[in-house]
Chain A
Amino acid sequence: MARRRRRPNPGVGPVTPPPPSSLIGAPAMAAPPPIVGDNALVLGIETSCDETAAAVVAGGGRRVLSSVVSSQIDLHARYGGVVPEIAGRAHVELMLPVVTEAVVTAGVADDDVAAVAATCGPGLVGALLVGVSAAKALALVWSVPFVAVNHLEAHLHAAFLDEPDIELPVVVILVSGGHTMLVLMTDRLRFRVLGETLDDAAGEAFDKVARFLGLGYPGGPAIDRLATAGDPDAIAFPRPMLDDGWDFSFSGLKTAVINHVRRHQAADPADVAASFQEAVADVLVAKARRAAAACGARGLCLAGGVAANTRLRELVLDAGMADGLETYLPSPAMCTDNAAMVAAAGWWRLRADGPSPLDAGADPSLRLPGC
């Protein structure tokens, strides 16, 4: 098949590493052009868990031209969770339609895309490989850089897609099904994990409590809905590790809920849901407030799927008012897994570190850099 000739793309410069910092500012050296231009378009691909997603984003998050998420939630609802075999196969089936839709919706031609970014971890290895392989293939065919993106780092960029002028540093409460961490973000490429869960992620605790209460999957929205009819002070569930460092532990809280329901069969499920949700949100926000004070952060920011929780959002807003902090609550579409955040993170990584090698693999247990 004849290759299409790429027309010159003002967004793409030669692929050269940035000069050593000691040379920056040396008068004889002309600054090399960046690998991607200020307004360059990056195609992002996300397949780390149960969403196949693709997005076209300009300038590292300045403008989201398209963000397509093909939720597989109907498939998973039948099984009560993420099913890897189904996730892998469905990612393969959905990849081309989702990427095509992202490019067409963005109203750009293939050769306007300056780079292709994909989530390389953490996540389900079979699912990750589908996205990474698709991104590498597109990067090869289009002769543009490929960049591997850490899923957790991508979540940290999500709030900027709604609100590009976030005043840094901020403390990010990153809460999802697989992850729970407090991160201090000092700029778009520098962050430090202050604390993380020592056992269950917050979203996992939501899912398991929902399953125990017979509320179905996904558990987070089910508890959120049921809790509106309940009393958050009805049951004094423990606030695990509330005053103990910045790490979290939600396994004991889950067990406390299960013990309570076993011993009080007549307990109103709405009260259980509301009291459990209150305990989780309370611990997350209390620790974030203390971290913001200790680190001199200017704001609190939510990220990850659990950030869609109504009560958590209320408590973050209240904390911001009480402590004089800016609060950033991304839209649910940006909190949950999406590819716009991957494209944004990819642009920033490409500018800082250059392209990833085409033999870069997927890493199911990837951690945030520097942690």
Chain B
Amino acid sequence: MISCVTRGAAETRSLGAAVAAVAAPGDLIVLAGDLGAGKTALVQGFAAALGVARPVTSPTFVLANRYVGRMVVNHLDAYRLNGMAEARDLGLPELLDDGVTLVEWGDVISAALPASRLEIALGFGAGPDDRSVVLTPWGPSWLERRAALGRAVQTWRAPVRAGGAPAEPEPAC
């Protein structure tokens, strides 16, 4: 188990970027945390670090987004799913063969997901923008990378912007 505290969404994105440094195709990352805890922010930093140029938006309504960077990033959201049958409808086995898969509210459908995974739980901290983050590797593939993950997490302090791009000036028409 690896714990840390992020102070603001920018740091949560940086933490996502740090986790991306040790991710590999076929990985499953399960994100847990209440509304506003920073699950999407973490995925934004993760995807930007893998070269995804498009804005990474919340998949709550569309359920699943697919991005292509240096590897495919599948971004799922189980917020509206009711029960395991619906989780199976997401086609997880096919997704897991194709790039790295991050599931927001994944704790809700935990039983439908493979046991080999990295769990990231985000909780509210002392200040309004503070988040306590606990990363728990499960299964041999993630346990092998535990030390590398711990080192990567120490690097999350450099902020990463949403969408991976710097702020743009007012566009001309």
Residues of A bordering B, CB below 8 Å = 49, 79-85, 88, 122-124, 126, 177-178, 184, 194-201, 203-204, 207-208, 211-212, 244-247, 249, 251-252, 254-255, 258-259, 262-263, 290-291, 294-296, 364-365
Contacts and interface: CB of A to CB of B under 8 A. Distances in A.
22 contacts: A81-B80, A83-B81, A84-B80, A84-B89, A84-B90, A122-B62, A123-B62, A124-B62, A177-B61, A184-B173, A194-B171, A199-B41, A201-B57, A201-B61, A204-B60, A245-B171, A246-B171, A252-B9, A255-B9, A259-B36, A294-B173, A365-B62
A251 B41 contact: yes
Nearest to A204: B60
A199 B61 contact: no
Most chain A CB inside 10 Å of its own CB: which residue of B79, B85, B169: B79
Contacts of B71: none
A254 B35 CA distance: 8
A258 B35 contact: yes
A254 B40 contact: no
Given A258-B35, A365-B62, A82 B41 contact: no
Contact of A244 (B60, B79, B124, B167): B167
B113 interface: no
Interface in B29-55: 34-36, 40-41, 44, 55
A252 B8 CA distance: 10
Interface of B: 9, 34-36, 40-41, 44, 55-58, 60-66, 79-82, 85-86, 89-90, 124, 128, 162-163, 167-173
A200 B40 contact: yes
A198 B80 contact: no
A212 B35 contact: yes
Nearest to A247: B55
A197 B172 contact: no
B58 A296 contact: no
Given A199-B58, A294-B172, 6 more contacts: A178-B61, A195-B171, A201-B57, A245-B170, A251-B36, A258-B34
The list of the 3 closest CB pairs from A to B, nearest first, reads A81-B80, A178-B61, A255-B36
Contact of A200 (B9, B34, B57): B57
A295 B58 contact: no
A365 B35 contact: no
A259 B163 CA distance: 24
Contacts of B82: 79, 83
A122 B64 CA distance: 11
Given A82-B80, A83-B86, A126-B89, A365 B171 contact: no
A180 B34 CA distance: 23
A198 to B, nearest CB: 4
A291 B173 contact: yes
A241 to B, nearest CB: 9
A199 B35 contact: no
A124 B98 CA distance: 19
Nearest to B91: A125
Contact of B167 (A82, A177, A195, A245): A245
B162 A249 contact: yes
Nearest to B39: A251
